Structure 1
Amino acid sequence: MVRARVRQNGTMSATLPLFLDCDPGIDDAIALAYLCCQDDVDVVGIAASGGNVATAQVVENTRGWLSLAGRSDVSVHTGHSLPLARQALQTGPQASDAATGEAPEYADLTHGEAGRGYARLPTPSGPVSSVSAAQAWVDAAHAHPGQLLGVVIGPATNLALALEIDPDLPSLFKRLFIMGGAFNYRGNTHPTTEWNVTFDPESTAQVLAAFDRTNQEERLAHLPVIAPIEATEAVEMTPERLATILDGASASSADDRWHSVLAQLAEALRFYFEFHESDGLGYIAHIHDPFVLACALDWARQDTIASNATESERSHANPEETATSAPERGTAGELPWATTRWAPVDVELTGTLTRGETVADWLGRWDRPVNAEVIRAIDAPAFLDHLSTTLMKGPPA
């Protein structure tokens, strides 16, 4: 695990306990590289969930990218091989396609048959964790009550399964960040849906319902964040920016290992560029996932500073004066590099044309309380500059 590091003055840097659920995937790979560059993050574990490619391949990709970066010490947990709806159709360990339906559709056209474009990754070293992804979520939350930052940049299958193991999990999180959905926007999978949610709509719906239920019972300190594609598609990697990152890393003190990571990311992105061009979007790449991870980490750092600064004031204040008020529908939230709005959110599960669509009640028609902070726009140039600088420097020495 990535633990606290000793600063040059001899003091220990604070750590942010993080559990990441991902399905690499090319933009997931960039998120993993970004994570390897952080010196104050305790990576409690990583769930490798099927989505962009099948679960077994996702596990190998996750371990391969970590191994290339010299982070084989990070625990990788295998996710369930099927989304929730297909799990429900299983009749036993020998269930056939007739019982489970057709095999899940994966995004190999987008990410390549192996989910890593043209990149070549080393054979991962060390065993895969024997703890399932769902159980790892539970263990991480209990090990870091009130402090765990959960980030889901793939389907929410294993977090939903974790909530079945322990329905009280939402109260143990510091906050949950989800990359997924499309609100009043054309989809990137079906006409109105986004890939992560479309792959397993029931899981996202169950996760949101669980956090909503807990919030109504005991008022969570922070409601989940949802980063949909109408916002994250603004984060575009271009060949020019990629070249700048590679040149900057060459001019910096980054070691040979990090140069190898960036070289393989460039090969993965070459495939991603080609896919976007074939999809009529130009020779660019939408890199959704690194933004969501970076936004979560930067928010957590700011929240920790703010919490520490006011802790003594709260201890002497009137509880009625310090109680947090529930966010109101349509009001603005506050997240790094983002413009946000609070809203009640749910997932369509039965629509013949819209199954998997995320729906926000912007006008108050449902008479439901707010349950999420939805990112509506991103300051993409500012974030991309941050990402570029981070990748150029590489991991801390």
Structure 2
Amino acid sequence: MSHEPEPIVIDVDTGIDDALALLYACAAPAAEILGVSTVVGNVDLNAATRNTRAVLALAGRGDIPVWPGAASPLSSASADARHVHGESGLGHAVLPEPPEPASRTHAVDAIVAAAHAHAGRLILVATGPLTNVALAVMREPELPSLVKRFVIMGGAYAESGNVTPSAEFNIWHDPEAARIVFRAFGGVGGASMVAVGLDVTRKMTFDEKDVAAFAASAAGKPKGAALTRFIEDASRFYFERMEASQGRRHLVMHDPLAVAVALDPTLVETRRAAVDVETSGRLTTGATIADWRGQWGRLANTEVAVSVDAERARKMFFEAMLRLAEGRSR
């Protein structure tokens, strides 16, 4: 793994776990964050953009540009996930109005420009629906050959879904966009997608004991109080939701894991397959279908994460949070 910071663009629909992923990226020495693009998903575009700016300000990185993108999916309108993330998208957390305005550059323009400016080096990570990335591919068909690595948090490959029995939320929210993206990447000369789906993200969790341990280690640090308050208030809403639905108070670190894998691919083991997205099934819309045996005769386009070093990833996350508490962001 390179010791030089790598240029990265993160595409988010900032709810609770996107916020944690952004905090992680801000504290990761391996990441040179060029900008963050926002998309409708967990919350509407305005809320996602405001949340993103506020979280970056909390991390001491209000200088990072935030590029608003698609306000609606390419597919028929889908429900958001405020029932999981709260009305604001950040659970019970309340952050000050961010001082820096959002950029006037559209997310699609910014993604394409970054890919050209950092051709062969750019890491692109999507932790929300793939609407912005689909529009970027439609704008610039060469995008898959320009990026070094493309990681998504999305899909359910051996696991059941989390919004329907067969579909994971990010793919389900805009299956048309997801299909465009899966079909664009992985061709000859193009980067494959690395799909960090429910198969691995469900294995990376934290609970109230982890939050309490972090609070103790962050006590007295320059930004410890503010960061601890945010993590406690945001995660508490998620804990309450999980307790009501699953009987256990914990938070699944979907999006932080995707960002971690983008910066350190050794955290997961992947299996290569041709993957496509169901867009018209009565019961299966948004399902990610992996052809493990090559029955379609298509070129494999996706590295599907099938196992994860969850303990190492969790340790890396809380070490990053401690760096932020100490005022050490990139």
TM-score (norm 1): 0.79
Equivalence for 2:63: 73
Superposed displacement of residue 250, structure 1: 1.8
Give 1:211 deviation, angstroms. Answer: 1.4
Corresponding residue number in structure 2 for 1:171: 145
The code of the aligned residue for 1:255 comes to P
Partner of 1:298: 264
Could you say which residue in structure 2 is the equivalent of 1:184? Answer: 158
Instruction: Find the partner of 1:51 among 13, 21, 41.
Output: 41
Structure 1 segments, 4+ long, off by >6 Å, are: none
Summarize the alignment of residues 192-271 of structure 1 with structure 2, pairs less than 5 Å apart: 192-212=166-186, 215-216=187-188, 219-220=189-190, 222-250=191-219, 254-256=221-223, 258-271=224-237
Per the TM alignment, residue 281 of structure 1 is displaced from its structure 2 partner at its CA by 4.4
Inter-partner Cα distance in structure 2 for 1:364 and 1:104: 32
- Distance between the aligned counterparts of 1:267 and 1:134, measured in 2? 32
Show the 5 A alignment for 1:321-336: 336=266
RMSD between superposed Cα atoms in Å = 1.5
| Rounded Cα–Cα distance in structure 2 between residues aligned with 1:129 and 1:396 | 25
| Partner Cα separation in structure 2 for residue 223 and residue 259 of structure 1 | 41
Per-residue Cα deviation, 1:146-205 (whole angstroms, up to 9, x for no partner): 000000010110011111111111111001001000113221101110000000011111
Report how far residue 285 of structure 1 moved.
Answer: 1.1
What is the letter of the counterpart of residue 349 of structure 1? T
How much has 1:69 moved relative to structure 2?
2.0
Of residues 54, 57, 68, the one that matches 1:64 is 54
Q: CA deviation at 1:72?
A: 1.1
Q: Determine if the alignment matches structure 1 residue 278 to structure 2 residue 244.
A: yes
Distance 1:281 1:210 in 2: 40
Structure with max Cα Rg: 1
Asked if the contact 2:30–2:263 (Cα under 8 Å) also holds between the matched residues in 1, the reply is no
1:298-317 map, 5 Å: 298-299=264-265
Distance 2:248 2:323 in 1: 29
Render the CA deviation track for 1:318-362: whole Å, top value 9, x for unaligned.
xxxxxxxxxxxxxxxxxx222221111110111010010001011
**Alignment length (residue pairs):** 325
State the one-letter code of the partner of 1:117. Answer: G
Q: Is the 8 A contact 1:246 1:392 kept in 2?
A: no
Aligned to 1:142: 116
Match of 1:391 among 307, 314, 321: 321
1:289 aligns with 2:219: no
For structure 1, the 5+ residue unaligned runs are 1-12, 87-102, 300-335
- SS of 2:185's partner is helix
Candidates 364, 369, 394, aligned match of 2:294: 364
- Give deviations 1:27-51, integer Å, cap 9, x for gaps: 1111111111123422111011110
Q: Which residue of 2 aligns with 1:131?
A: 105
Does residue 1:161 correspond to 2:135, yes or no?
yes
- Partner SS for 2:32: strand
Which residue, out of 28, 42, 45, partners 1:38?
28
Q: Decide whether the 8 Å contact of 1:29 with 1:265 is kept in 2.
A: no
Tell me the residue number matched to 1:346. 276
Distance across 2 between alignment mates of 1:150 and 1:138: 11
Q: Secondary structure at the match of 1:279?
A: helix
Between the aligned partners of 1:182 and 1:39, the Cα distance in structure 2 is 30
Q: How many Å apart are 1:376 and its aligned residue?
A: 0.9
User: How far apart are residue 228 of structure 1 and its match?
Assistant: 0.9
1:101-125 superposed Cα distances (whole Å, 9 cap, x missing partner) = xx53110110001100000111011
User: In 2, Cα distance between the equivalents of 1:352 and 1:52?
Assistant: 23
Write the deviation string for residues 45-90 of structure 1: whole angstroms up to 9, x where unpaired: 101111001111100110111112221111001111110124xxxx
In structure 1, the residue matched to 2:267 is 337
Q: C-alpha separation between the residues in 2 aligned to 1:364 and 1:142?
A: 33
**Structure 2: distance between partners of 1:236 and 1:150:** 24
Letter of the 2:74 counterpart: L
Amino acid at match of 1:22: V
Q: After TM superposition, list the pairs within 5 Å mapping 1:373-384 onto structure 2.
A: 373-384=303-314
Assess if the C-alpha contact under 8 Å between 1:249 and 1:393 holds in 2. Answer: no
Change in Cα spacing, 1:182 to 1:40, as seen in structure 2 (3 Å) is closer
